[in-house]
Structure 1
Amino acid sequence: MLVAAAANLAIALAKLVAGLVGGGFSIAKGLHEIGHGEDLSNLTPAHIVLAASFVFEGISFARGLSSARPRPSGPLS
């Protein structure tokens, strides 16, 4: 039991470190691009990815909202 808890803690800490390192890298890269960025030429792929993410997030939100609503209970439901 204690070994499983220690393993879960180690996995959680590894995920935390990976997330912090990845987030720090993203922030550093973003700040560098803001200061020394290139001219934007073709934004169509970025707009397609953004539109797709809105669609998928909307679907996820709708499913989560429908599962969070209380369902009627009783003999007629």
Structure 2
Amino acid sequence: MIIDALLRDQYSINAARKIAKLADSCLNKNARDRPTMNQVVEILKQAIQDSQKGTNSVNNNFGASGSKLGKKTQVEVI
């Protein structure tokens, strides 16, 4: 995941992961595999709430495991 350096300390890593996963799911070729707009709104609301809680900021979670697939998430701030 690549994140703009200007956003440093202004988001939670969990919120960034949720939004990235959401964006990826919206790109599925099969429309049935894409989230509905209601699901998109709910996921975005949850990401905003996570961000406002200020938990799991990018500073303390570089390379933390967080995907459902168990892959290591790498965050690159540019």
**TM-score when scaled to structure 1?**
0.28
Q: Does 1 or 2 have the higher relative contact order (CA < 8 Å, sep 6+)?
A: 2
The structure having more radius of gyration, on CA atoms, is 1
Q: Which has the higher helix share?
A: 1
Q: Which has the higher strand share?
A: 2
**TM-score when scaled to structure 2?**
0.28
